[in-house]
Amino acid sequence: MSDETGERLFRTATAPGVGDDAALPGLETLRAVLDSVPGRVVALDTAFRYVYVNREFLDFMGLAAADVIGREVAQVFGAKIFATYEPVLARLLAGESLRWEGWRDYPDGRRRFVQETLRPYTAAPGAPVSAVIAFNRDLTELKQREAELSAKLEELEHTQALKSAIVDNALAAIVTADEHGLVVEFNPAAERMFGIAREAAIGRPVSALIIPDRHRAAHDAGMARLKAGGAPRIIGRRLEMEAKRADGSEFPVEMVLARTETGGCCFYSAFLADLTQQRATAGEIERQREALRQSEKLTAMGSLLAGVAHELNNPLAIVMGRATLLESKCEDEPALRADAARIREAAERCARIVRTFLNMARQKPAEEHNVQVNDLVRGAVDLLQYGLRSGGLSLELALADGLPPVLADGDRLGQIVLNLIVNAQQALATTSPPRRMRIETGIEARRPDRSPRVWLRVADNGPGVDAAHRERIFDPFFTTKREGMGTGLGLSVSRTVAREHGGDLSLEQTSPLGGASFRLSVPLSPEPPSVAPAPQPPDEDAPHWRVLVVDDEPDLVELMREVLEGAGFEVAGAESGAVALELLREARFDAVVSDLRMPDIDGAALWREVCRLDAALASRMVFITGDTLSPAASDFLRETGCGVVDKPFAPAELVARVRALVAR
């Protein structure tokens, strides 16, 4: 457009479409162009009066051309809005073009984001400014969309950050793979679980990272089937399976697999929890439950065993006593004496077996006294003799003669010996013949750093203990035996008992027979061993002590009568508690020997009646019993302080106990 045309436009235009079209060729075209511009275009004179406005401006303001042309900006927009332009008016009139964008307020209260350009107009170069042309683009909707998009992006970033925080801090391992099986996400829990850094995992096949080799083919086949459109079989289900760590070791996991489709791609996320500790805990609970069941069985068997032992000990006591008496009567018949000795020894062996059973099942506080380790070995061997012999085991005993005693609870120490022998027997069960076991005892050489000890070694020629298991062999619940053969507590408890006695139990580095070799050591007893006095022949000038013998077994009453009369006592026998009470009311006695379990009036009831009749005599009562497992019997003996002789007993033991009573 020429300068002349522009001058005429600003001078003569009074409204859009108004003017001398013939005198202004192209003006109509120019007006049409300006009316089509997607922005507000106005022309102002130097007094800032409107000389031209386009259709966009009028539509935006909701005004007619007559309401605008010839009026000042302050009249159309208000003085307050016009005042915002006043700082730049002088610059415009000086010929400077200005441009800015931002939020603008309008008279009707609207607030719009606009991009505004103000350009001064001169009729000729160097001429003074004669008008100002303003171009105003309304960017409000664009700005609002940008704000909405920014808000959505911020929300998306926040959501993504929240999801990342959840994934990064999740306790479960999260592994995400694309439809090709390549890892796209590997959270910190997965790094810890599998021992693989995230950077090393991203982009690698998930099957090569965490799937055991033997399951890889099945995994790849499943991924191929899903990629081909096959129906998912394990999506959303809880599965227990084996996974692989970076070092190649396998461990149990629980997995839930989820499928997500986004952007036209399919992703699979596995949420995994390590079940190693859970499996170990469950196994320990099951072992403890089994141990509890076994304990309950032993408790029930103990009650049954108490009754069986009582019934068995009576005839054993008779056999032992009669065989001993028969030996003493056969001084001049060596052959008969030898036969009687063999009968007595067989009965004593039976008695040791029964006593060992009772000691294993007995529930009582620890009682330490002088114990002969060799006797514990012989008792355990007697108990296990049949199993050792039937298993084809060759047992060699190398027990040191004259071994000093140790101060210990014989029952608990005996259980260690039994456990070591049984362990060796079980180890040899899978060994080809010859199967050999050697049990040795001896005294350790004196050392300045500890007291002298007695040692016991149980060695075998079995498979021994693997080097990998040697450090854990004494750990609770650790066992190398097959299922059902043990709880893994025997060696742990045995070492604990040994150390409670001031000793130790260890697995030796080398074995004399090539298999396993366990060594038990226990300090010697600081007390000198008590020596039972040799039986003395009756003194003809000694007082004739009167003893009442009470037992519901007639043969046992007769045996005790004969034994005590042979020792110089005057003896009366009673085959029930009721008969004993009648005798006590009619005659004087210096001591009472009574069975504890009897059908009518038992030993406890008899003692209470004796307390009422003669309190001094009640303190000189001794009880003969094979029922040491019964809690009632134990409580009674502990309450009264009366002595007890376990059945079966040796005649000398009975005589010594009665002499101690009458000596009071």
Last residue of a domain, one of 215, 239, 274: 274
Half-sphere exposure of 112 (CA within 13 A, CB side): 16
Residue 314 lies in a domain: no
| CATH number of the domain to which 120 belongs | 3.30.450.20
Q: Are residues 187 and 132 in the same domain?
A: no
Q: Percent of the chain, pLDDT > 70?
A: 82
Q: Which of 134-148, 160-174, 386-400, 623-637 has the highest mean pLDDT?
A: 134-148
Q: What's the pLDDT score for residue 2? A: 39
Residues 319-376 have pLDDT tens digits of 777 777 777 778 778 878 787 777 877 777 677 666 666 655 555 555 677 888 888 8
Q: Percent of the chain, pLDDT > 90?
A: 9
Q: Are residues 124 and 213 in the same domain?
A: no
Residue 35 lies in a domain: yes
Q: Are residues 247 and 121 in the same domain?
A: no
Residue 494 lies in a domain: no
Q: Are residues 110 and 178 in the same domain?
A: no
In the predicted structure, residue 260 carries a pLDDT above the cut 70: yes
Q: Are residues 575 and 640 in the same domain?
A: yes
Residues 89-145 have pLDDT tens digits of 888 888 899 998 888 888 888 888 989 999 998 888 888 888 999 999 888 888 888
Q: Are residues 131 and 197 in the same domain?
A: no
Q: Are residues 77 and 12 in the same domain?
A: yes
| CATH number of the domain to which 657 belongs | 3.40.50.2300
Residue 18 pLDDT grade (very low, low, confident, very high; cuts 50, 70, 90):
very low
Q: Are residues 75 and 200 in the same domain?
A: no
Q: Are residues 134 and 182 in the same domain?
A: no
Task: Provide the domain limits for residue 224.
Answer: 170-274
Q: Are residues 87 and 187 in the same domain?
A: no
Q: Which residues of 26-49 are buried (b: 16+ CB within 10 A; e: fewer)?
A: ebeeebeebbeeebbbbbbbeebb
Full DSSP string of 349-399: HHHHHHHHHHHHH-------EEE-HHHHHHHHHHHHHHHHHHTTEEEEEEP
Lookup result for tokens 């040899």: 428
Q: What's the pLDDT score for residue 452? A: 83
**What is the amino acid identity at position 610?**
V
CA–CA dist 591, 656 (Å, integer): 13
Q: Are residues 132 and 239 in the same domain?
A: no
The DSSP symbol for 479 reads -
Last residue of a domain, one of 274, 290, 305: 274
- Put the strands of the sheet holding 173-178 in their side by side order: 183-186, 173-178, 265-274, 250-262, 238-244
Q: What's the pLDDT score for residue 654? A: 87
Residue 187 lies in a domain: yes
Residue 41 lies in a domain: yes
Residue 291 lies in a domain: no
Mean pLDDT score of the chain: 80
Q: What's the pLDDT score for residue 359? A: 58
Residue 656 lies in a domain: yes
Q: What's the pLDDT score for residue 532? A: 47
Residue 54 pLDDT grade (very low, low, confident, very high; cuts 50, 70, 90):
very high
Last residue of a domain, one of 138, 159, 179: 138
Residues 589-646 have pLDDT tens digits of 989 999 888 888 888 898 998 888 888 888 889 988 876 556 777 778 888 888 888 8
Residues 549-592 have pLDDT tens digits of 998 888 888 888 888 888 889 989 888 888 989 988 888 898 99
Q: Are residues 126 and 176 in the same domain?
A: no
Within 8 A by CB and 6+ apart from 139, the residues are: 101, 113, 114, 115
**Domain count of the fold of the chain:** 3
Q: Is 344 helix (H, G, I), strand (E, B) or coil?
A: helix
Mean pLDDT to the nearest integer, 484-508: 74
Length of the chain in terms of residues written: 664
Q: What's the pLDDT score for residue 69? A: 93
Residue 484 pLDDT grade (very low, low, confident, very high; cuts 50, 70, 90):
very low
State residue 531 phi and psi, 5-degree precision. Answer: -105, 120
**What is the amino acid identity at position 471?**
E
Q: Which helix (H) or strand (E) holds 84?
A: none
Residue 662 pLDDT grade (very low, low, confident, very high; cuts 50, 70, 90):
confident
Q: What's the pLDDT score for residue 15? A: 40
Residue 562 lies in a domain: yes
Bridge partners (DSSP) of residue 518 are: 458, 507
Q: Which of 195-209, 275-289, 458-472 has the highest mean pLDDT?
A: 195-209
